[in-house]
Chains A and B, each alone.
Chain A
Amino acid sequence: MNGFDIYVIGINHKTATVDQRECVAVSPSDMTSLLQIIRSAGHWSEVVGLSTCNRTEWYVVGPNKPNYMQCLRTLLNITGGVESWSDPEITYVKRHTEAVNHLFRVAAGLDSQVLGESQILGQVKDAFTVAMETDTTGPILNNLFQTAFHVGKRVRSETDVGGGAVSVSSAAVELASKIFSDLSRRNALLIGAGETGELTARHLKSREIRTLYITNRTFERAESLAKDLGGHALPYDSYDRQINEVDIVISATNSSEYTVSREMLKDVLPSRNHRPLFFIDIAVPRDIDPELNKLDNVFVNDIDDLNTIVNKNLDLRREEVPAAQQIIDGEVACFAEWLKTLEVKPVIASLHKKFEALRKREVEKSRKYFREEDWEDLEKLTTSLMNKFLHEPLMHLRDAAQNGNGQLRRVEAAYELFDLGEEDEE
């Protein structure tokens, strides 16, 4: 590119440890001022900052000279009070189509720690919104980020790179939804309100489970989580009476004995009238008697089953990466085409400006030789002549920009032939 280029400088989960990422992370409250500082340094006409727990990246449009990136590194070190941005081991710099490809991969979730996760697209959107509101974006980053959002959506809708559950808690919900078609018509019981149990309960709640009962050895903990999730707390010594009412039981306790045994279900099953009962056992040692899986309409799946689902889904996502990258490659090529046309725009504008000034000067000089009623015709004639003279050179410039054939040579020739450099400086 001639004059300017797109750059990204970043530190992410692949290059740096969480300690190193923490040092360069930018809080939402600091982002606005930092964007303004970078912009006011003068070298970068457009800036967007993306800071999540897995990455901090700066997308800038600046001079097409690599040494300017050194300035940016120094500036980021000073403002962040760190040396990390000068460390080539943990930072990466990409320019032009590599930077475009990088952002598209980030937006599509291909660069995420959990492949294909969808949260990142929202984070990229938030980052762009902050930059736009701070007025540090321009035509190039506006188009780049809008295209990135489109690419992110395309990859998710046209491939399965974001398909299937990839955490134990979401796998439990995926499994439940393979037994029951509509979780909003089902009730669930959570035995043990620990971290994993809570996560699974939250996933079930996000799928609008009808009623959620929570029981825990410490009743206050059950009450607190029930209040948070809009569920009902049950005393730990009487949850077995509730099993008849529920369709899904999640057990995640530290108990050394089964929380649900065959004996416990003896009276429950006949009154359930063949309704399926699904046990998700997330505990080690196991909470649910595995023998229950042999009963009709009773399903028992443990932590190993959930891990199997997670691993299979991750494999499926990995298989989708080439298809996702193909979409990204196409979009990068389109964006590169657009960038090329952007390069000749200043030349075309300069040519127009110069010829228009020349035309006006000559018309003014010659006006006295014409009657006043002919002045309008004179304007029309000279404008038409100017457009006709410019038509061929402009067409060749646009063509060179689109096809890349001798583009730089033609742009330079245009500058020299029409003395445009001088005009620009003026």
Chain B
Amino acid sequence: MIVFRVLLPVFYGMTAALYAVHFFSEDRPVERFLTPALGVTLLLHAGWLTLHTIQYAHFPMASPAEVFSVIAFATALIYLWIESMIAVKTTGLFILLVATIFQTISSLTISQIAKIDPILQSPLFGVHTGAAILGYASIAISSLYALLYLVLFYDIKGSRFSVFFNQLPSLEVLDTMNTKAASAGFTFLTLAIVLGTIWIEIAYGRLIMLDWKIVVAFLTWLIFGTLVLSKYLLGWSGKRIAYLSLTGFATVLISLTVVNYFLTSFHRFY
């Protein structure tokens, strides 16, 4: 398993490097290898997740490090789906950089969990965590498209016409991808919060709302809910939506990074 811990960040890093070469040098021969390279990395990662599940008898979502690895996998997988939809490969570098960072942190901090709390082996918990991870991965992607939107927006407004102007798809595409990913993130997050609430009720016999990670998750949910409503009810688009998405992601980052390394477990109550 140690081999996978080393190989996964290396593969993500190498794939991101290939996307970087394509982004900066517009090297067409490299373009052909991008999707296959990402495919191989995802297969390797899927293999590790399967082996890990078999070896430790739980899906790797019981510790922050395991969750980070699954987020890297989900982010790269969702990006692959987006790439096939928009047929543009120049945004891959930024998303795969995030996946590489998540996987590297995971590989550096992961440790064998001796005993899994039986509460965490509940199927409901599995679906709750799965929905939360997909939600966070979608939010990460949404915020990256929001960031790229703002970069291109100010590039055009400021008449700079940098490499981003040449390489990025149109503002409309970036805005659409941001909104789609944000909507998906909001949906998964809603599901995760609802299932989490039910699971707490079943597991502990009471509702625990004082766990401040739940509060942060709820805040994130509110921000992305505002984003989705503003988009579909008020017709907001572009810069405002991009800033909302980035604010939501900042909240997620606080939840997933700062809190995880101050607390010993994912939530305060287990």
Q: Is the CB of B170 within 8 A of A181?
A: yes
The total of chain A residues at the interface (CB under 8 A) is 28
Stretch at the interface among B55-63, B91-99, B151-159: B151-159
With a cutoff of 8 Å between Cβ atoms, the chain B residues found around residue A276 in the complex are 171-172, 237-238
Give residues of chain A (303-332) contacting chain B, Cβ–Cβ below 8 Å: 304-305, 308-309, 312, 316
In the complex with contacts A274-B235, A296-B239, A308-B159 CB distance below 8 A: yes
Q: Is the CB of A175 within 8 A of B156?
A: yes
In the complex with contacts A158-B28, A297-B238, A181-B157 CB distance below 8 A: no
Q: Is the CB of B159 within 8 A of A181?
A: no
Q: Is the CB of B239 within 8 A of A297?
A: yes
With a cutoff of 8 Å between Cβ atoms, the chain B residues found around residue A37 in the complex are none
**Residue-by-residue, is B229-270 near A (CB-CB < 8 Å gives 1, otherwise 0)?**
000000111111000000000000000000000000000000
With a cutoff of 8 Å between Cβ atoms, the chain B residues found around residue A312 in the complex are 161, 166
The total of chain B residues at the interface (CB under 8 A) is 23
Give residues of chain A (140-192) contacting chain B, Cβ–Cβ below 8 Å: 157-160, 163-164, 175, 177-182
Q: Is the interface of B mostly helix, strand, loop or mixed?
A: helix
CA–CA, A175 and B172, complex, Å: 13
CA–CA, A281 and B145, complex, Å: 29
The total of Cβ contacts below 8 Å across the A-B interface reads: 60
**Residue-by-residue, is A402-426 near B (CB-CB < 8 Å gives 1, otherwise 0)?**
0000000000000000000000000
Q: Is the CB of A159 within 8 A of B28?
A: yes
Chain B nearest Cβ from A264, distance in angstroms: 20
Q: Does B169 contact A (CB under 8 A)?
A: yes
Q: Does A77 contact B (CB under 8 A)?
A: no
Give the residue name and chain of the A residue nearest to B238 (CB).
Answer: A297
* 11 further A-B pairs in the complex, CB-CB below 8 A; given A178-B170, A304-B159, A312-B161: A158-B29, A159-B28, A160-B28, A178-B152, A179-B172, A181-B172, A273-B235, A274-B237, A296-B238, A308-B159, A308-B161
Binding site for A on B (CB under 8 A): 26, 28-29, 152, 156-157, 159, 161, 165-166, 168-173, 176, 235-240
Binding site for B on A (CB under 8 A): 157-160, 163-164, 175, 177-182, 273-276, 293, 296-297, 299, 301, 304-305, 308-309, 312, 316
